[in-house]
């Protein structure tokens, strides 16, 4: 039985086989649907032939209906709000529904893939726990990228809300008249560097590369992100008592630029970068008991 694993972000769909499919989260229904079809690469079986049903595991941020696979985001993927992932793959036209959250989707047939969903931050944490053998104690994960994610696990069990999202969030914590994600994210890094240098053309990645090359302003930006994140996490550490902190996402690849102020804020914990591919290892757990 074939297994396809997808990590859906706002600009790319990352596939476990190494492919990266561009996707525009603010694009039209057909633009989004075509990207999903390309990632899944679904091909109907020839008429009259039987075969194995493929399995598809999908990591995607919320809000999302992880049980039925329905998009519930309005800040991105707005053009497919209320639609089911499976319908976007198999139906070229929007299902004829009149409610805000359609419930008239076709049922999965025996010929359709078995599609299962997981919050992307939970998937990274589940995978990292398996890869690093962190089955005991309390492990927390922060994901740093276009957004700011947080999840934690107790003795290897990821703590989730009733909807399947992480049990605790930090992205919307108040910070300097805004929220924490405004500062601790890719856009926050770009804005901070532009304020220091007047150069608003750099990406978070290029700013990190400049920091590693000795750019003082870039080094200060990343060091400050580490300090802000450490200060924000310190009371959460006191509340949850996690002994290991993992950092995932693209910005976490620059952990060495941020780790010192984080360690100073939480000297009793161990901080690691989440392993590459953790999101896909986490998605595999969706099918382990089946």
For residue 107, the domain's CATH number is: 3.30.420
pLDDT at 290 over 80: no
CA distance 130 to 142: 17
Q: 160 and 251 in one domain?
A: yes
Short-list 115, 116, 113, CA closest to 45:
113
Select from 112, 139, 166 the last residue of a domain.
112
CA distance 263 to 256: 11
Q: 246 and 149 in one domain?
A: yes
pLDDT at 94: 59
Higher pLDDT, 124 or 111: 124
CA distance 7 to 14: 5
- Sorted by sequence, the CB contacts under 8 Å of residue 225 that are 6+ apart come out as 183, 184, 188, 189, 192, 258
Tens-place pLDDT, residues 170-225:
999 999 999 999 999 999 999 999 999 999 999 999 999 999 999 999 999 999 99
67 and 58 Cβ atoms separated by less than 8 Å:
no
- Residue 228 domain-assigned? yes
> Do the strands 174-175 and 178-179 form a parallel or antiparallel pair, or are they unpaired?
antiparallel
**Mean pLDDT across 146-153:** 94
| SS3 state of residue 123 | helix
CA distance 151 to 88: 29
**Mean pLDDT across 108-129:** 87
CA distance 116 to 44: 19
Q: 105 and 188 in one domain?
A: no
Q: 230 and 194 in one domain?
A: yes
pLDDT at 99: 44
Higher pLDDT, 118 or 107: 118
Split into its structural domains, the chain has a count of 2
- Residue 80 domain-assigned? yes
Alpha helices in 77-197 (DSSP H): 85-90, 120-132, 180-183, 186-197
pLDDT at 76: 87
Select from 90, 112, 134 the last residue of a domain.
112
**Average pLDDT of the chain to the nearest whole number:** 89
Q: How confident is the model at residue 95 (pLDDT cuts 50, 70, 90)?
A: low
pLDDT at 104: 46
pLDDT at 52: 53
Q: How confident is the model at residue 2 (pLDDT cuts 50, 70, 90)?
A: confident
Q: Which domain range does residue 229 map to?
A: 121-284
Select from 71, 87, 112 the last residue of a domain.
112
| CATH number of the CATH domain containing 257 | 3.30.420.40
CA distance 53 to 176: 51
Distances 186 to 172, 206, 222, 252 between C-alpha atoms, Å = 15, 11, 11, 11
CA distance 26 to 287: 31
Q: Among 104-108, 164-168, 245-249, which stretch is predicted with the lowest mean pLDDT?
A: 104-108
Highest mean pLDDT among 74-78, 208-212, 247-251: 208-212
């Amino acid at each position: 039985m074939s297994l396809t694993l997808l990590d859906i972000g706002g600009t790319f769909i990352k596939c476990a086989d190494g492919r990266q499919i561009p996707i525009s989260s603010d694009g039209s229904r057909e633009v989004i649907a075509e990207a999903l079809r390309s990632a899944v690469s679904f091909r109907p079986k020839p008429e009259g032939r039987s075969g194995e049903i493929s399995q598809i595991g999908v990591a995607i941020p919320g809000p999302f209906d992880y049980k039925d696979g329905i998009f519930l985001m309005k800040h991105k993927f707005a053009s497919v709000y209320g639609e089911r992932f499976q319908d976007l793959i198999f139906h070229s036209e929007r299902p004829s529904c009149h409610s805000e959250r359609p419930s008239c989707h076709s049922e999965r047939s025996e010929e359709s893939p078995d599609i299962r969903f997981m919050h992307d931050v939970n998937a990274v944490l589940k995978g990292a726990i398996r890869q690093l053998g962190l089955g005991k104690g309390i492990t927390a994960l922060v994901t740093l990228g276009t957004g700011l994610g947080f999840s934690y696990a107790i003795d290897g069990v990821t703590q989730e809300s009733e909807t399947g999202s992480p049990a605790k969030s930090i992205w919307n914590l108040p910070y300097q008249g805004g929220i924490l994600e405004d500062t601790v994210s890719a856009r926050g890094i770009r804005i901070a560097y532009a304020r220091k240098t007047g150069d608003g053309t750099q990406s978070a990645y290029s700013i990190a590369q400049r920091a590693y090359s000795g750019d003082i302003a870039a080094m200060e930006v990343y060091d400050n992100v580490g300090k802000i994140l450490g200060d924000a996490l310190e009371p959460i550490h006191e509340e949850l008592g996690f002994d290991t902190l993992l950092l995932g996402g693209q910005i976490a690849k620059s952990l060495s630029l941020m780790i010192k102020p984080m360690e100073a804020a939480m000297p009793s914990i161990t901080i690691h970068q989440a392993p590459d591919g953790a999101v896909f290892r986490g998605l595999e757990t969706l099918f382990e008991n089946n």
